[in-house]
Structure 1
């Protein structure tokens, strides 16, 4: 039929590749692709040694072994380049810390409205879209909240059951979250409650995996303009929030409660008690 058949990992990477705008994102995608290919080639070598495969790359198992060696060398080169990127980011991060700028990280699942919120908070015009993975590498901008300066970073969207190859390849993005002082967790409130609960639990698991626990966080219930009423969703999410979290309903698209969110952020940045004078 002429149709290409690919697995889930390669499909996700193709979507990533469509949106990749930075050298770092392209390197991360290529690394993930290599990590996915290497076990397959290694298995092919095993079958070739058993005599069950013939003639691939013109030399049976020797062709596979050459190909495997070539992929490992390419993987090493990409890792070195990504390490240089991480070192550069670390230098920038240390410079921000030295200047006294606290760091706010925006996280959430794909299509929750993270980048729209980032644009509202920073007055930027980062590309947004209804399709997943519009953001593939961290983007930071300085903001001023009631006289307090801070750095806000938009990160790549989570996806449930993301293959481990992709999670590891995008470690540089998750690394930004681990250094944040405050986390804005954007949630699509227009989704069913069981979907919200599952995504919330999975996001907490990912944060725990990268060593982010107990940091001041705001659960941003976004897209409330798509609901007939958001009070029920708000109360339900409040019922499962953790002690370090507050819940704020907003519509980033319609600019609803954005000023309230900024006020809460300013209070948190100034070191006031979490939850003080917060109207939800």
Structure 2
């Protein structure tokens, strides 16, 4: 078999765009447009327009606060046919780290397992001396804590079935079933759940689900911190940041099938 002939004329803009993607894929940290243009020997204006297009296509993400760029979750959508769940976890890694650093909390990625359990597949910690520590491989009941509300919201189970599963859970200060179901409905409306010390006293957990193309929960991202470190404003900012990252992840892993999500 002979090698396929090279095209007579390469599309320069496409080649440059791919060069930018490869550069960001190798970069351990988000990078600004000036540095990217200099390292790749690109015109600054051309580089900016390439990045703007890549952000629009969700292949690159832009951090408004630092004016830097990093790889986006849209790449998962392109490669969905060959990726496994472990690959999704690797793609979420920089987002876990950004959340942990920005909000000074521990972030965790949970994957749905068998027997109504979720397993911790990745985590990122802040540099704070006082932080919640968890271990990869840890397993939890699927319907407990903040992530449990997220799983229940998209489980397709009846209220009676959810009641049976929740009745088997062990909390330190568990909510009433009526409160639990009210918070499940809030997940459907707003895309996140908050556990105010129900599962572990003195600890706040915020979670948002990542859904597959059938709108079933595939994974969930949880942010964990001590109650004393949150103000109302900082907690709300964390909820919204976490939700938007999980929204992007859902669009990516569903291949764009799931378009209408929380708050749309």
Does TM-score exceed 0.5, indicating one fold?
A: no
Q: TM-score, normalised by structure 1?
A: 0.22
Q: TM-score, normalised by structure 2?
A: 0.23
From the two aligned structures, give the one with the greater strand fraction: 2
From the two aligned structures, give the one with the greater helix fraction: 1
Q: Of the two, which has the highest radius of gyration? A: 1
